[in-house]
Structure 1
């Protein structure tokens, strides 16, 4: 039994380490999961400043990411909807309603000007062999902005999980300047869907934030205008919760 336990412990550590590093958890240096890094690297290789069919990008990314086209497609859509590194064209879904994106053959994407400027630099990038040894891929990308905080991240691995909320890019850049000047600063989460945020229990990222929808009255007593919704929910879910509360 001792031998079996030894084998189990070793295999568990090897598997969990692989899964954590290769799929689930973003790297602190560039704020990207492996699939996200490989997508951006592929877009950089394809980049001619024109839009490319997402189906083509997914197929090219499979040279680096051997986990199927579905995982690449879904990761690309999520990354594009962050509106930082990927410029999109077509129906990429709706973060407010939860509607799905169109099929990969119908939608297009390319790198944003911001991504070209601050994410890539071949001269200071370390490369390793891809899974089949036929290509080279970056270990991490030399990102010059706190992309991990700007985009946020969420991942679940073996005995480990991470959830980092998104932040306002301008506030992060101002915080970078303050840090270099040895000045005090504070940054709090900022959500693309808006909402009213209570950060009194945030505790420098180790606590929680409370987000509520922003409502406004209208001239019609039977109508309430929903201006902003909590991050991570959808309009349908919000309507359902209001109906439940009214019963």
Structure 2
């Protein structure tokens, strides 16, 4: 029997324009849903969800001994996320960094990088386990089959489509990501304040943005610092988009003994690289754009950030401080775009909508 009975060549005319549109949309939706944007229910992207589930499945929980990061990465890559070990390890590291996460989901042991932009140690050296808070995203609710499951990439195993999160992680830890044609940037918030807002909305579904602001006054960044003004916060919570001005916390210290004055920086805006900030101040002094600085030292240690800017005797401290705010990342803008996946589609959400989706999800669980 000839092959022509089974394989018949047929040319189908296709518009290149239409094919490009279809292919681009398929690719865009794959990136949006499968990689770049968090789910409104558990606040996680697929890679983070798979890491946490993989650790829980291995019994790598709080209170038990740490396990090598390489073991977790290899297990997650082999079972659920075949996209390269570097991408998985980067996501794992971020969940263990107290300067990146308001509440870490991974308890790390070893070098996981720093606010100076230092790289973490290789995965064969670091060790991890779930944090106690991360267990609240999995735990008993997952064992009771309260969420939907789906086959993994090769159909050999099942993985949860969402974690049964007992707290609104999307707002608590925030998220950032760039998809095709869109991006999300959600700031972290205080856990207690977010839960208070959830309780208030559950009791009064007609609550307005201003009502919720009483419980959740604004973002709470892991590196602290000062948010200037509330207009940007209110706009972001009411529309899903806005910007807040974040300023480093600095104090002017006088030393009567030597007659010297110094500006001491103790808190930085979120995601500001401390080493680059010090470098930038040094450049401004060298180019004489800022006059009045006699010495610059980074005295930061494990107890916290401390950058000392010593001033000349004739310098006016407040003038120099204002110049630092103006010319360095000591004052920066954090753009908020509360974009998340809702029922498989990307959607910009108000604060109230984000809380409503979480409450509806918890009722379902």
Q: Which moved more, 1:45-54 or 1:117-126?
A: 117-126
Aligned partner (choices 169, 185, 196) of residue 212 of structure 2: 185
Structure 2 residue 153 is the aligned partner of structure 1 residue 131: yes
- Cα 1:241–1:222 change in 2 (3 A) is farther
Task: Quote the residue 1:206 is aligned against.
Answer: 241
Deviations for 1:47-92, whole angstroms, at most 9, x for unmatched residues? Answer: 2522111010000110211110000000100112224321111111
Task: Quote the residue 1:32 is aligned against.
Answer: 44
Residue 29 of structure 2 aligns to a residue in which SS? helix
The TM-score with structure 2 as length reference comes to: 0.64
Note if contact 1:47-1:111 (Cα within 8 Å) is conserved in structure 2: no
Report the Cα distance in structure 2 between the residues aligned to 1:140 and 1:27, rounded to whole angstroms.
8
Task: Quote the residue 1:43 is aligned against.
Answer: 55
Deviation, 1:151, is 0.9
Report the Cα distance in structure 2 between the residues aligned to 1:180 and 1:27, rounded to whole angstroms.
21
Gaps of 5+ in 2: 1-12, 292-365
Gaps of 5+ in 1: none
Task: Quote the residue 1:66 is aligned against.
Answer: 82
Task: Quote the residue 2:116 is aligned against.
Answer: 97
Task: Quote the residue 2:72 is aligned against.
Answer: 57
Residue 215 of structure 1 aligns to a residue in which SS? strand
C-alpha RMSD of the superposition: 1.8
Task: Quote the residue 1:75 is aligned against.
Answer: 91
Task: Quote the residue 1:149 is aligned against.
Answer: 171
Residue 185 of structure 1 aligns to a residue in which SS? helix
Task: Quote the residue 2:18 is aligned against.
Answer: 6
Structure 2 residue 276 is the aligned partner of structure 1 residue 237: yes
Which contiguous aligned blocks of 4+ residues in structure 1 show a shift greater than 4 angstroms?
none
Residue 167 of structure 1 aligns to a residue in which SS? coil
Report the Cα distance in structure 1 between the residues aligned to 2:232 and 2:195, rounded to whole angstroms.
24
Task: Quote the residue 1:119 is aligned against.
Answer: 138
Aligned partner (choices 218, 223, 227) of residue 262 of structure 2: 223
Report the Cα distance in structure 2 between the residues aligned to 1:51 and 1:43, rounded to whole angstroms.
11
